[in-house]
Every structure is written in structure tokens, then in C-alpha cells.
Amino acid sequence: MSEDPIAEAHWDQMLTYFPQHQVVLVNEDDRALGRGYSLPTAWSGIPAELPDRGWDAALETGVANYLAGHPNNVVSAIEITLRPELRGQGLSRVILSAMKTAARAAGYQQLIAPVRPTLKARYPLTPMPEYITWTEADGSAPFDPWLRVHWRAGASIARVAPQSMTIPGSVAQWEHWTGMRFPASGRYAVPEALEPIEIDRAADRGLYVEPNVWMVHPL
């Protein structure tokens, strides 16, 4: 979901203004294996007041506060990426730990994360509030592996961010992005999307609103 306009507007600013919160995992040959992106943002500390706009709000608020000279009081994880062939080897936990270390070193007491559950795209019709209640067979941990990584790293689920990322586009753009055709208006499940997209052919508009899950890590 790289077409998010908030990411397009503020990603480079995040890298420029907050370099101390960006981490890179390298091997013995200094080859980059993965990266972790985060930035300071603002939060009241009350779980119910974590923003509905999740990922978009964390990035937008963090950059806006920096430019306005307003204080930020918490660090938000934004993204962890790994080389595709290295997934499933536990390296994301290493990057997450490094992000927490960077936040702690900068004097912050919490790291929040608008988590994008990795298996949710397999269940696009299941509401996110229901999905996050699913557990492993023994009931001991979250069903979703990415929620589980954060949970095992000490985070707790705070709330769903129902509009964490919003991606508008024309019908033609959505057909290009997904490799699908949308002959009629309606809701469509598309690859990698956590929820169906809405297509309105009369308005020549497609809209994807992605929910994420706010999790809070004490530092």
C-alpha cells in the first residue's frame, strides 16, 4: 500500500528530521538486511485517545510538530522491512528491539505502533475488532504473527485504528495497482489489502481505508 498520500508527503521529511530513530540491520559484510523506521509524535497517554487515523496520524503529527516547534512525547514505529528471503527468521524482532533502544536513548518512555497484522489480508471480510481477539490454539498469544511479535516483545493491544491509512484513486489507478478489473461499483477484495476497497464507477473513484492495531511498548 505504497500509494498513501501521507507517506508521499512526509516520508522523506521523517528521514531528514529524525535520523536517530531510523535503524538498519546489517550482516558482517555491511550488507543491509532490514530497516526500521520510527519518529517522535504526540499522544496523551490515554489508550482511547490514540488516533483513529493511526499510521497516517503518527507520521503527519510527528512531522507537523517538529516543523512548528511543538514537543513530541512518544515514539511511534512506522515500518519494519526485511529482505524477502530473510523473512521468518526472527530478524524483525531484532529490528524492533533496536527501534526501542533508539527511543529509550532519546529519552522516551514508550513506543507505540500502528501494527499492520500480516495475516489479516487472508480474512478481508472479518472486522478488525474481531480479528484481534483471535488467539493461537492454546489461547496463550495473538493469532496473527506480527501482533504476536509485538506482544512477545512486551507490547499490549490498546485499540483498533479504523482509518490508519487512506488511499484514494481513480478506477483506472486501482485497476493498475491491483492488476484487476472492476466492471461495476461495489466492494472488492484485492491482493494484500486488509479490507475490501470501495469502487464507485460513476464518480470514477476507488477508496481503500485500512485499519491497523495500536500496540504500546513500555520502555
Say whether pLDDT at 1 is over 60.
no
The model carries a pTM of 0.93
Paired residues of 160 in beta bridges: 213
Residues 115/215, Cβ–Cβ less than 8 Å:
yes
Summarised one tens digit per residue, pLDDT across range 138-185 is: 988 999 999 999 999 999 999 999 999 999 999 999 999 999 999 999
Residue-wise DSSP of 138-157: TSSSBSSHHHHHHHHTT-EE
Instruction: Give me 202's grid cell.
Output: 460513476
Summarised one tens digit per residue, pLDDT across range 57-109 is: 999 999 999 999 999 999 999 999 988 887 878 889 999 999 999 999 999 99
Domain boundaries, the chain: 5-164+212-218
Domain 5-164+212-218: CATH class, spelled out: alpha beta
Q: Three-state SS for 94?
A: helix
Sorting pLDDT into bands at 50, 70 and 90, what band is 29? confident
